Amino acid sequence: MKSIWAPWRMDYILGDKSETCIFCSKPGEKNNKTNLVLYRGKLSMVMINKYPYSYGHLLITPNKHVRGLEDLEVSEVNNLSLVLQKSIIILKEAFQPHGFNIGLNQGKVAGAGLEEHLHFHVVPRWIGDINFMPLLAETRVIPEHLDETYDRLSPFFKQLDI
């Protein structure tokens, strides 16, 4: 039997499970790499998902702590859409994915894990990226450590000025 190494999962297993909103607290800590914050604008931000579905999985969120898209001003929705678009462009340039899953789970019944703070998931996809592991072993294989993914994407996001 082979072992799959995913050391960042231990942080989740042993980590603080407090009710603190990561989208509100992590950006304020100012350690972007440790907190996987790639971009912090006036109205929105981009983070790497610490527990990704796939390689390069990003979370895009408004800075305003809201539950629903309808709770944002038009300017905030427009900004969020622009940051989402720019993030896709960056992922295409950095990783050359064949496609994307882009999702917004609004409300617990819809699958929102952090239902108190609206966020989009942007998951790059490649032909053949999902193999038998998720189906048979309920395990995902992420081919690169999160720190390396951060280092690869960070220069692209430093150029964003939205």
Q: Which residues are catalytic?
A: 119
Amino acid identity for residue 131 in this structure: N
Handedness of CA 33, 81, 72, 41 (dihedral sign): positive
> How far is the C-alpha of 37 from the C-alpha of 30, rounded, in Å?
9
55, amino acid identity: Y
Residue indicated by tokens 């390069």: 56
- Nearest CA to 94 out of 18, 45, 40, 159 is that of 159
